[in-house]
Amino acid sequence: MENAETFKTLLTSGENIPEKLVPVLNFVLMNASALLVVAGIAKDYVEGANLARESVTSGKAWRALEIFRDAGKRAAEAL
């Protein structure tokens, strides 16, 4: 539960990410950046990290996670 709460706090804090979560943010940005480069969305890791940071701080990443979660719940209910 602690990891889930940490992740939720990170993705819902906007620009006001708590100082204690900055290392977690950096880890998330590093991994997301690599994914964005591999997917061809970012031209390099710097652009990928910038795109990822914008997604986290704007709330887009949290909204995407909620959509994914809700789709999973609907799929499970349909079984």
Domain count, the chain: 1
What pLDDT score was predicted for residue 24? 96
* Residue percentage of the chain with pLDDT more than 90: 97
Does residue 1 sit within a domain? no
Give pLDDT, residue 20: 96
In a domain, 44, yes or no: yes
Identify the pLDDT of residue 1.
82
For 48, the domain range is 19-78
Pinpoint the alpha helices (H) of the chain.
2-12, 22-38, 45-58, 60-78
| Low-confidence residues in the chain, pLDDT < 50 | none
Residue 25 lies in a domain: yes
Please report whether residue 14 resides in a domain.
Answer: no
